[in-house]
Amino acid sequence: MKEYEKIKQLVAAIEEDVIKFSEKGNAAAGTRVRKGLQDIKRACQDMRDAIQDIKKGDTPQG
């Protein structure tokens, strides 16, 4: 499912900034993490919508 792959990529993309913020207290990294989390939230909603469409039979799996 392409939405799941996107979520995995987004999580991997913020890993370095999470470490910078949590271990080194880098405030700018914290801002980037928050932005990344918002992107992840949107991607999760997209995946939820896609799953609902598949359950309804509106869209083929992919």
Task: Report CA 49 to chain centroid distance, whole Å.
Answer: 14
Q: Which residues contact 20 (CB under 8 A, 6 or more apart)?
A: 26, 29
Q: Are 40 and 7 in contact (CB under 8 A)?
A: yes
Q: Are 43 and 49 in contact (CB under 8 A)?
A: no
The CB density around residue 19, as the number of other CB atoms within 10 Å, is 13
Q: What is the C-alpha to C-alpha distance for residues 40 and 33, in angstroms, rounded to an integer?
A: 10
Per-residue pLDDT of the chain (62 residues; tens, 9 = 90+): 899 999 999 999 999 999 999 999 999 999 999 999 999 999 999 999 999 999 998 656 65
Q: What is the pTM for the complete model shown?
A: 0.84
